[in-house]
Structure 1
């Protein structure tokens, strides 16, 4: 019994130490800012958008560099509305996206699998007719060259079929009439979250970002 108690105590203390170290790393590393590249030309308007937990990267539906609607088809949304100026994209755990419409629906198994990279990931895509700047929606203007790098990073996050097309996930778990889900690369875990992906997307195109963050607030702090 004594041996069992000792082992149990060590396990508990080890878990507490891990959580404390993780929280300290999340706090301290997110405070370290990555500066934006020097301004060259202001060509493309993008946004970062948060729902209070998760960050989306929002870009024009179409410009001379890319037409996202060719792969992220309007017909894959419930509303099939083609009148949209912007498309938001966010990466995340597939189980969270499809099986957890509200926090009340969160299951331990879903959270456990997500935390320890035991499930697959998905891209959540939402069309927007307009965006209004606020504390949860920040506008960023970048150059064509920077946007080209963003396009590459985001595109490489989508899984593709044998013909090179993004793979739409057929589901009824849509959040509204203007969104859809697609298969994605990588696995969600404690060290690579939906916000880590968004933060890395900003890094890819030379914008202000955190050294590392699993949360959305540190990203938006850089754009106050």
Structure 2
């Protein structure tokens, strides 16, 4: 019994130490700023958008460099509205997206699988007609070359079928009438979250970002 209690105590202390180190790393590394590339032209308007937990990268539906609606088809949304000017994309755990309509409905099994990379991932694409700057929505202007790199980063996050097309997830878990879900690469975990993906997207296109962050607020702190 004494041996069992000693082992249990070590496990508990180990978990506490892990959580403390994780929180310290999340706080300290997110404070370190990766600076924006200097002296670039301002050709393309993009946005970063948060719902208070999760960061989306929002880009034009189409310009001379990319027409996202060719693969992120309007017909995959409930509303099938083709008048949107922007499309926001966010990467996350598939279980979070499809099985957790609100945080109150979050199941332990979903959270556990996500935290330890035991589930697959998805990209949530949401069409927007217009966006207004606010504490939760920041406007950025980037060069065409930077946008090309962002396109590559985002498209490489999608899974494709044998014909090279994006794989729409058929579901009734849509958040509204203007969104859809797609299969994605990688697995969500404690060290690579939805916000880590968005933060890396900003790095890919030469914008201010955190050295590393699992949360959304440190990203938006860089743009206050």
TM-score over 0.5 for the pair: yes
Q: Hey, what does 2:96 align to over in structure 1? A: 96
| Local SS of the residue matching 1:97 | helix
Distance in structure 2 (CA, Å) of the matches to 1:97 and 1:9: 36
| C-alpha distance in structure 2 between counterparts of 1:103 and 1:52, whole Å | 12
Structure 1 counterpart SS, 2:171 = coil
Equivalent residues in 2 for 1:53-92, closer than 5 Å: 53-92=53-92
User: What is the rounded CA distance, in whole Å, between the counterparts of 2:73 and 2:144 in structure 1?
Assistant: 23
TM-score by length of structure 1 reads 1.00
Q: Which residue does the alignment assign to 2:148? A: 148
Partner of 2:184: 184
Q: Which runs of 4+ in 1 moved over 4 A?
A: none
For residue 163 of structure 2, what is the aligned residue in structure 1?
Answer: 163
Computed over aligned residues only, the root mean square deviation of the Cα atoms, in angstroms, reads 0.3
Deviation string for 1:48-73 (max 9, x for gaps)?
00000000000000000000000000
**Secondary structure class of the residue paired with 2:213:** coil
- Distance in 2, Cα, partners of 1:38 & 1:13: 46
What's 2:22 paired with? 22
Instruction: Give the SS at the match of 2:124.
Output: strand
- Residue in structure 2 matched with residue 199 of structure 1 by the alignment: 199
Deviations 1:130-159 (A, max 9, x none): 000000000000000000000000000000
Aligned equivalents of 2:72, 2:191: Cα separation in 1: 28
Q: Distance in 2 between matches of 1:204 and 1:163?
A: 27
User: Matched residues in 1 for 2:39 and 2:68: separation?
Assistant: 25
C-alpha deviation, 1:39, in angstroms? 2.7
CA distance in 1, matches of 2:112, 2:39: 42
User: 1:114-133: CA deviations, max 9, x gaps?
Assistant: 00000000000000000000
Count of matched residue positions in the alignment of Structure 1 and Structure 2: 224
State the shift of 1:16 in Å: 0.2
Q: Could you tell me which runs of 5 or more consecutive residues in structure 1 were left unpaired when the two chains were aligned.
A: none
* 1:8-63 Cα shifts (integer Å, max 9, x gaps): 00000000000000000000000000000013211000000000000000000000
